[in-house]
């Protein structure tokens, strides 16, 4: 497996404004010691609830922000060490699709100009060539050519998301980060966009990082999945393995909470106890211990490291005890 993208001990702190002149400056640790590799052509799902750091991680990968610790490297080159013009050149290789299809498009630019902008930025052809390429891209994402002369507000959410996707693939990137790319869309439109992204991925040989809070979407698209909680990865492995026999108590909680359109969901009491602690003052040791039924004193004292148990990586002190290789009752349908 050759890694296209590798994150090594990446961390991101956001300083907060002081509450008073004599108060200590507080920091929000949005991403905490995340290491992972994404192989060429694979799809990594990044899943977790709001505040878990998955979107911050997406921004770090996209070089929209600099990590406070650790490094993000693409093909072995540390992106943080690149100069301004080298970074601009490198940006061609990684692109992002955003959640909000309207907000991510400039309201004062027509679809044609939005898609063409990336090509102009890198001078990829004469104006006529760029115009032809824009039409080709529109066709590739299933956007009718007659829609190219419209403003975003004249288009539907699904159509705007297609423009966002066309813009992202215009530079022929190798890596695409889809940050909640289908979360704001209706079910039927969501299906269209998911199909489109999957099709483009195989046509263009893209590597995909799919960030979502929606377990069923992740289960559908991702080869591997990373589950995040309060800035840390708690479980990482093949989607089948993780979703069918989750080990980490948080992953289990998350999977159980998803309402499924099956009779199994009826009247089931699956809600976890308590609320997610404030990311400003996360619990010591394992962040999940305050809501975990299996927590012991060890969990408060020591941060569990990600380690290999049952064919995937888990950050839980009790992973071995929780791992039940053949227990069919743990199978969760998503």
| Footprint of other proteins on 160-219 (CB under 8 A) | 164, 167-168, 170-171, 186-188, 190-192, 194-195, 198, 213, 215-217, 219
| Tokens, residue 58 | 């997406």
Indicate whether 241 belongs to the interface with other proteins (CB under 8 A): no
- Other beta carbons within 10 angstroms of residue 144's beta carbon come to 11
Q: How far is CA 136 from the centre of its chain?
A: 28
For 4-42, the DSSP string reads EEEEEEEEEEEE---SSTTSPPPEEEEEEEEEEEEETT-
Report how many residues bind other proteins under the rule CB under 8 A: 71
Site for other proteins in 311-330 (CB under 8 A): none
Q: What is the DSSP letter of 207?
A: E
Answer yes or no: are the C-beta atoms of 211 and 62 closer than 8 Å. Answer: no
Indicate whether 225 belongs to the interface with other proteins (CB under 8 A): no
Overall residue count recorded for the chain in this entry:
334
Q: How far is CA 71 from the centre of its chain?
A: 18
Question: Shortest distance, CB of residue 301 to other proteins, whole angstroms?
Answer: 26
Indicate whether 263 belongs to the interface with other proteins (CB under 8 A): yes
| Tokens, residue 25 | 């400056």
Closer by beta carbon to other proteins, 166 or else 233: 166
Interface region with other proteins, contact rule CB under 8 A, candidates 20-28, 102-110, 297-305, 321-329: 102-110
Closer by beta carbon to other proteins, 266 or else 326: 266
Residues 6+ apart with CB under 8 A from 315: 232, 233, 234, 235, 248, 286, 304, 305, 306, 307
**297: helix, coil or strand?**
helix
Indicate whether 272 belongs to the interface with other proteins (CB under 8 A): yes
Question: Shortest distance, CB of residue 334 to other proteins, whole angstroms?
Answer: 6
Site for other proteins in 103-132 (CB under 8 A): 103-109, 117-118, 121-122
Closer by beta carbon to other proteins, 108 or else 146: 108
Closer by beta carbon to other proteins, 100 or else 330: 100
Indicate whether 38 belongs to the interface with other proteins (CB under 8 A): no
Indicate whether 136 belongs to the interface with other proteins (CB under 8 A): no
Question: Shortest distance, CB of residue 320 to other proteins, whole angstroms?
Answer: 25
Question: Shortest distance, CB of residue 286 to other proteins, whole angstroms?
Answer: 17
| Tokens, residue 62 | 């996209």
Site for other proteins in 76-95 (CB under 8 A): 88, 91-92, 95
Site for other proteins in 7-26 (CB under 8 A): none
Q: Which one of 270, 284, 296, 324 is in contact with other proteins (CB under 8 A)?
A: 270
Closer by beta carbon to other proteins, 35 or else 147: 147
**Cα–Cα distance measured from residue 94 to residue 105, given in angstroms and rounded to the nearest whole number:** 18
Question: Shortest distance, CB of residue 220 to other proteins, whole angstroms?
Answer: 4
Helices (runs of H) and strands (runs of E) counted in the chain: 11, 12
For 48-106, the DSSP string reads --TTSSHHHHHHHHTTSS--SEEEEEETTEEGGG--HHHHHHHHTTEEEE-S-TTTTS-
Indicate whether 150 belongs to the interface with other proteins (CB under 8 A): no
Question: Shortest distance, CB of residue 234 to other proteins, whole angstroms?
Answer: 14
Indicate whether 100 belongs to the interface with other proteins (CB under 8 A): yes
Element (H, E) at 178: strand 175-179
Q: Are strands 207-212 and 175-179 parallel, antiparallel or unpaired?
A: parallel
């Amino acid at each position: 497996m050759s890694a296209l993208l590798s994150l090594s001990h990446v961390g991101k702190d956001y300083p907060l404004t002081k509450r008073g002149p004599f108060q200590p400056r507080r920091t929000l640790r949005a991403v905490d010691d995340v290491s992972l590799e994404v192989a060429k052509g694979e799809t990594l799902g990044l899943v977790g609830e709001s505040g878990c750091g998955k979107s911050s991680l997406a921004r770090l990968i996209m070089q929209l922000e600099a990590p406070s610790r650790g490094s993000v490297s693409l093909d072995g080159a540390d992106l943080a060490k690149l100069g301004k013009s080298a970074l601009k050149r490198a940006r061609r290789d990684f692109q992002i699709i955003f959640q909000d299809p309207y907000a991510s498009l400039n309201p004062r630019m027509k679809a044609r100009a939005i898609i063409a902008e990336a090509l102009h930025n890198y001078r990829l052809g004469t104006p006529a060539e760029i115009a032809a390429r824009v039409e080709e891209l529109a066709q590739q994402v299933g956007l009718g050519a007659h829609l190219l002369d419209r403003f975003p507000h004249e288009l539907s959410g699904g159509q705007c998301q297609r423009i966002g996707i066309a813009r992202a693939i215009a530079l022929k990137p190798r890596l695409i980060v889809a940050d909640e790319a289908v979360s704001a869309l209706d079910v039927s439109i969501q299906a269209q966009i998911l199909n489109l992204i999957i099709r483009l991925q195989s046509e263009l040989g893209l590597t995909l990082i799919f960030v979502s809070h929606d377990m069923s979407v992740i289960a559908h698209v991702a080869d591997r999945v990373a589950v995040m909680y309060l800035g840390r990865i708690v479980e990482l492995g093949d989607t089948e393995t993780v979703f069918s026999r989750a080990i980490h108590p948080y992953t289990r909680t998350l999977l159980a909470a998803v309402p499924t359109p099956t009779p199994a969901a009826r009247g089931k009491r699956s809600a976890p106890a308590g609320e997610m602690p404030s990311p400003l003052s996360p619990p010591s040791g394992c962040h999940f211990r305050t809501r975990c039924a299996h927590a012991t004193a060890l969990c408060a004292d020591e941060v569990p490291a990600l380690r290999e148990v049952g064919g995937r990586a888990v950050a839980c002190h009790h992973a071995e005890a929780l791992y039940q290789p053949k227990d069919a009752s743990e199978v969760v349908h998503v």
